Structure 1
Amino acid sequence: MPADMNDYFKKKKPNLNMNKPDNTGSTGSGNRGGGNPLDGLGKGAPFILIVVVIAFALFAFKPFTIINSGEVGIKVRTGKFDETPLQPGLHFYIPVFQKIIPVNTRVRLITYSNSKTSAVGDDYTRGLSSESFEGGLKRNPAIQVLDKRGLTVNIDLAVLYSLKASTAPKTIETWGASWEEKIINSKVREVVRDVIGQYTAEQLPEMRNQIASAIQTKVTERISALEGEPVLLSSVELRNIDLPTKIKDQIERVQIAKQDVTIAEQQKEKAKQEAQRKAEIARGEAERNRIEAQGQADKIRIEAEEQSKANKLISDSLTQQLIQLEQIKTQAEFNKALQVNKDAQIFLTPGGAVPNIWVDAKSKKEPTVVGQ
């Protein structure tokens, strides 16, 4: 290499022994390999080196993890699970010897349905078996079971549940990462088969409320009976009962027939009520007429009785002297009339009884009774 190039690289290369002269009297050219390379960095060099090594270790091994709210951490030491779960926050561990598994303890939903719906989630995908969940939502096909007669029925369900945080390490240790399948899915399918198998397909729609209650109760009992109660069950909702087409048609025909019978019974009851109403009106009208007739008859009877009493009183009060007195009074009236009309004729009744008859001969009028 040309001399000028050697000089150039010597100037560019740092000389760690600039202050130590060699035997030739030059500085920096001799004893290149025998010095401490950190001497030029000063007294803080070891500290800086340690910081760099720690930073590199933190970056390379990442001996910490962050547990989010709604999760707990399970610390594993050389393959053994700690019984105490780690709460949300920052936690450190020793790589290789330890690791921390975050587990989702939020409320989850498993649906059993053949209906397709859009994906929903809470954007948290960490946790055991999270690959089968969409933010805590898991979809399964509808549960196919046999009714009492062996017909296939599809049951749509929705189950709300959550992993019990305090026993999460024991649950994962016992049941593994697929604890949902082993606990929730298996128990729900088992209970649905037992309950639906007690009814015929035609009875299922009518007994829907009783069936829903029975499924909820039995699933809760069987999951609660597990050691440590690893899962908190919120609800089991019966959404739909999908019957075979022939059974649906038969039920529909029965329902239509029942509706027709109901309508006929309603019409019959309406006609009966209308007839009763008319009969009540007729009875009321007849009673009114009877009361009016009775009132009129009572009126006539009372008037007749009173008249009879009056006549009897009059008859009892008449005497011969009273009759003669009345005749005298009448005769006096006739005498006064003769003074006005001298041509008048008076006829006395036989025996001298009243009334007497006055005939006005002058005016030729009809006989007129003028006094008593």
Structure 2
Amino acid sequence: MPADMNDYFKNKLENNNEPPKFLKEFSKKATILYVILAVIVLLIIAKPYEIIQSGEVGIKVTAGKFDPIPLGPGIHFFIPGIQKIIKVDTKVRIINYKSERDTAFGDVNEGIIEKPSISVLDARGLPVSIDLTVQYRLNPANAPQTIATWGLTWEEKLINAVVREVVRNVIGRYKAEELPVKRNEIAKMIEQEIRQKIESFQNKPVILESVQLREINLPPKIKEQIERVQIAKQEAERVKYEVEKAKQEAEKKAALAKGEAEAKKIRAQGEAERIMIEAKAQAQANEVIGKSITPELLKLKQINVQGKFNEALQNNKDAKIFLTPGGAVPNIWLNAEDNKKATSIGR
């Protein structure tokens, strides 16, 4: 076989051993895919990121050093093994100091810490327990400094310790029986002193929302004593009310009697004035009448009476005539058969 013929078949065989072009392209894409999958697996295993939710801040720690700038909501990456991100809650949190556990939320009490009532001694050394509710939240702007200084148990060191100290100091100033009476004063004092102490901490680590005094639990003997005093006060108030009511009733009756007496007095005065006015008018009338009587008038009157006398004699023949001593006009007594009639003709 000629030499050029051998070269032809040799080249043909070599060309047939090369992989197709699409296989070369697939191989390259597969390599890239493997790399991507490896990166994804690495991310899943190492998880070099942290997602911060609303109501939280993140604190990046690099080789044990806290970054002073807090991380806001969103996704944040870090270098595994060298860095880490600590998430802390900045929402309002509650500590309930109470004698019984709150079961209103079942077993899920997110952000609510329940602690026993605060046991303290009053001014005489008697035991008293106080129920409080404290609402607060971590200051997000200074969260890195707070966690760096106080650690993740900052609530126990900043809130619980301060609350217990203030409650003991305030309650220790009063006697047990004074506590219920001065409840509002004590509640205000406890909140003011807790707020002052928390705000005095460097970097303002906590924002205090409110402090509510819910219950003052007194010793049984003190409670019985207070109840007796309250019953006595209620009885005294009842007696005072009855006395006041009786006094008011007496004053009312006295006022009515006085009013009636005044009314009678006014009526009597009115009657007296009426009589005086009538008497005065009669006197004036009599005076006028007296002044009006003249001898001529009397003579005329006598003539009129004499005329009536004459008429009487004409009608009654048996009439008897008699004169009244000192009188100017005669009187006539009339007898008619057996019946007697008296007629007096006067002035």
Short-chain TM bin: 0.7 to 0.9
Equivalent residues in 2 for 1:313-324 (5 A)? 313-324=288-299
SS of the equivalent of 2:341 reads coil
Aligned counterpart, 1:94 = 79
Distance 1:119 1:315 in 2: 110
Query: CA offsets, 1:70-111, max 9 Å, x none?
Result: 111111111111111111111111111111111111100001
Query: CA offsets, 1:147-189, max 9 Å, x none?
Result: 1111110000000000011111111001101100110011111
Aligned counterpart, 1:73 = 58
Out of 331, 334, 337, which is 1:357 matched to? 331
Aligned counterpart, 2:39 = 54
Higher helix share: 2
5+ residue gaps, structure 2, are: 1-12, 18-22
Normalising by structure 1, report the TM-score.
0.82
Aligned counterpart, 1:235 = 210
Aligned counterpart, 1:267 = 242
Aligned counterpart, 1:285 = 260
Contact 1:120 1:137 in 2 (8 A): no
SS of the equivalent of 2:180 reads helix
Aligned counterpart, 1:331 = 306
Task: Report the AA paired with residue 200 of structure 1.
Answer: K
* Aligned-residue offset at 1:362: 2.7
* Aligned-residue offset at 1:141: 0.6
* Aligned-residue offset at 1:115: 1.5
Distance 1:43 1:272 in 2: 112
Aligned counterpart, 2:172 = 197
The two structures, once aligned, show a CA RMSD in angstroms of: 2.3
* Aligned-residue offset at 1:66: 1.1
What is the number of residues matched between the two proteins?
Answer: 328
Identity of aligned residues (%): 51
The answer to whether 1:182 aligns with 2:157 is yes
Distance 1:63 1:362 in 2: 158
Distance 1:121 1:166 in 2: 33
Aligned counterpart, 1:8 = none
SS of the equivalent of 2:336 reads coil
Query: CA offsets, 1:229-267, max 9 Å, x none?
Result: 111111000000000000000111111111111111111
Query: CA offsets, 1:306-345, max 9 Å, x none?
Result: 2222223222332222211110111122223333334434
SS of the equivalent of 1:358 reads strand
Contact 2:101 2:114 in 1 (8 A): no
SS of the equivalent of 1:75 reads strand
Contact 1:109 1:137 in 2 (8 A): yes
Aligned counterpart, 1:258 = 233
Contact 1:143 1:189 in 2 (8 A): yes
Aligned counterpart, 1:108 = 93
Normalising by structure 2, report the TM-score.
0.88
Decide whether aligned partners of structure 1 residues 51 and 106 sit closer, same or farther in structure 2, where only a CA change above 3 A counts.
Answer: same
5+ residue gaps, structure 1, are: 1-18, 21-26, 28-37, 124-133
Equivalent residues in 2 for 1:298-313 (5 A)? 298-313=273-288
Task: Report the AA paired with residue 283 of structure 1.
Answer: K
Distance 1:116 1:57 in 2: 46
Distance 2:231 2:257 in 1: 39
Decide whether aligned partners of structure 1 residues 304 and 39 sit closer, same or farther in structure 2, where only a CA change above 3 A counts.
Answer: closer
* Aligned-residue offset at 1:292: 1.8
Aligned counterpart, 2:133 = 158
SS of the equivalent of 2:263 reads helix
Instruction: Name which of structure 1's ranges 208-217 and 300-309 shifts more when overlaid on structure 2.
Output: 300-309
Contact 1:327 1:352 in 2 (8 A): no
